[in-house]
């Protein structure tokens, strides 16, 4: 196990003083329902948000808050975290219950949450300086790409629906799931002559954007 930890530390470019923190960050609740990485993930989510927020304000000092907020959401969402976690091959080092080990399609959320737990562990072990160094290294390309113009799917769908059907898209809130500190919202959207399409997100607004984007792609508009 020590060799596995050393291999992961080389990948992370960080050596833990307290290896117990590293181990705990890798324990999914399916492996241990009590002593797992959920609290570290809770912390890491906040640390990641702080670091990315600070960096965005440095990069875009004259940008409006609403634009920075959209860039922020794109940089810290489940898709981005899981994508980076896959590149680091985090799954290889995780402690998982048998039911999860046998899953053919490993849930992106699980490895994305584990990456956030690792950020929380680095923060507790080495402080904000090292957590920031880690995040800025592995989010570097995503931060560079954040300068590209964002497509506001909700606005684009609204413009299309009004132009073709003279009606606004209809959004219906479906449900809220997930833990209190990190809820997942589900909503669906429909325009005339289209099927209902569901989107998920960390807020109702984000879920609506994702639903609109999916519908636009299904209509081959986006």
- Length, in residues, of the chain: 222
**Per-residue pLDDT at 178 exceeds 60:** yes
CATH fold for domain 153-218: Double Stranded RNA Binding Domain (3.30.160)
Given a cut of 80, is residue 102 above it in pLDDT? no
Q: Is 63 a catalytic residue?
A: no
pLDDT higher than 90, residue 89: yes
Q: What integer pLDDT is reported at residue 202 of this predicted model?
A: 81
Enumerate the CATH 3.30.160.20 domain ranges in the chain, comma separated: 153-218
Strands 170-177 and 184-190: antiparallel
Cβ–Cβ under 8 Å, residues 117 and 124: no
pLDDT of residue 67: 84
Residues of the chain with CATH 1.10.1520.10: 2-145
Per-residue pLDDT tens digits for 142-166? 999 887 666 678 988 999 999 999 9
The pair of three-digit structure tokens given for residue 45, joined into one six-digit string? 């989510």
Catalytic status, residue 132: no
Helix axis angle, 38-59 to 128-138, nearest 10°? 70
Which is catalytic among the residues 45, 113, 125, 188? 45
pTM reported for the whole predicted model: 0.74
- The residue whose two tokens read 């291999």 is 7
Percent of the chain beyond pLDDT 90? 66
The single residue of 41, 113, 116, 188 carrying the catalytic annotation is 116
Ranges assigned E (strand) in the chain? 170-177, 184-190, 197-201
**Residue-level pLDDT at 103:** 55
Q: Tokens 């995780």 correspond to what residue?
A: 94
Burial class for 68, CB neighbours closer than 10 Å (0-12, 13-18, 19+): middle
Q: Would the pLDDT of 169 be above 60?
A: yes
Please answer whether residues 171 and 189 qualify as being in contact, where contact means their C-beta atoms are separated by less than 8 angstroms: yes
CA 5 to chain centre: 24
The pLDDT tens digits of the residues spanning 44-72 come to 999 999 999 999 999 999 988 888 988 99
Q: What are phi and psi of 104, to 5 degrees?
A: -70, -45
pLDDT band of residue 107 (cuts 50, 70, 90) is: confident
> Quick one: CATH architecture of 2-145?
Orthogonal Bundle (1.10)
């Amino acid at each position: 196990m020590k060799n596995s930890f050393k291999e992961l530390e080389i990948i992370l470019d960080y050596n833990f003083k307290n290896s117990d923190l590293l181990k705990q960050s890798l324990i999914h609740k399916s492996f241990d329902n009590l002593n797992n990485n959920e609290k570290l993930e809770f912390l890491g989510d906040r640390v990641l948000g702080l670091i990315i927020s600070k960096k965005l304000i440095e990069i875009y000092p004259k940008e409006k808050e609403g634009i920075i907020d959209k860039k922020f959401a794109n940089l810290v969402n489940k898709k981005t975290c899981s994508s980076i976690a896959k590149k680091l091959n985090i799954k290889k080092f995780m402690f998982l219950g048998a039911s999860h080990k046998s899953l053919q399609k490993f849930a992106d959320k699980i490895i994305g949450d584990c990456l956030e737990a690792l950020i929380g562990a680095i923060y507790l072990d080495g402080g904000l300086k090292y957590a920031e160094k880690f995040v800025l290294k592995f989010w570097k390309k995503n931060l560079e790409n954040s300068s590209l113009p964002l497509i506001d799917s909700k606005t684009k769908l609204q413009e299309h629906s009004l132009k073709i059907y003279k009606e606004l898209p209809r959004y219906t809130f479906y449900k809220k799931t997930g833990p209190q500190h990190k809820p997942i919202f589900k909503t669906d959207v429909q325009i005339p002559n289209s099927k209902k399409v569901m989107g998920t997100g960390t807020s109702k607004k984000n879920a609506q954007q994702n639903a609109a984007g999916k519908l636009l792609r299904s209509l081959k508009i986006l």
